[in-house]
A = this chain, B = another copy of it.
Amino acid sequence: MPTAPDSPEAAWQQLLRIRQSIDNIDAALVHLLAERFKFTQTVGELKAEFGLPASDPDREHRQIARLRELAVESNLDPEFAEKWFNFVVTEVIRHHIQAGAEGVERASGAEPDAE
């Protein structure tokens, strides 16, 4: 944080700088989500092609517990982190199902998988 602003104009300038940081963070978030999505697609294809178990509830529980811990460490509300994770998982599964229904190229019978 820069020094505290001492006027509305200085506050506005600080706000604009913070918005740039928020925009940079959001761009990074979108790119990471894109990369995550590529990985979950590959996992779905691997599972379908080699007959691996479609779901692994234990893994999901471990993922949530770990993300909650990471949230606490980084001063983020763990409830928010869990809700956010569940949103992403649900959306990714929904999207995989939709992509399959629309005939997008993927291994036939691949289970949607959030991983």
Residues on A facing B (Cβ under 8 Å):
1, 5, 7-8, 11-12, 14-15, 18-19, 21-23, 25-40, 42-43, 46-47, 49-52, 59, 63, 66-67, 70-71, 74-77, 80-81, 83-85, 87-88, 91, 95, 115
Chain B residues lying within 8 Å of A32, measured Cβ to Cβ, are 25, 28-29, 32
- A52 in contact with B12 (CB, 8 Å): yes
Docked-complex contact B22 and A40, CB < 8 angstroms? yes
- A88 to chain B: closest CB distance in Å? 7
Verify B76–A42 contact, CB threshold 8 A. Answer: no
Measured between C-beta atoms, what is the minimum distance from A72 to chain B in Å? Answer: 10
B84 contacts A22, C-beta separation under 8 Å: no
Contacts of A85 in B (CB 8 A): 26
Closest chain B residue, CB of each to CB of A29: B32
Q: Given A5-B50, A18-B39, A52-B12, does the pair A76, B33 have CB atoms closer than 8 Å?
A: yes
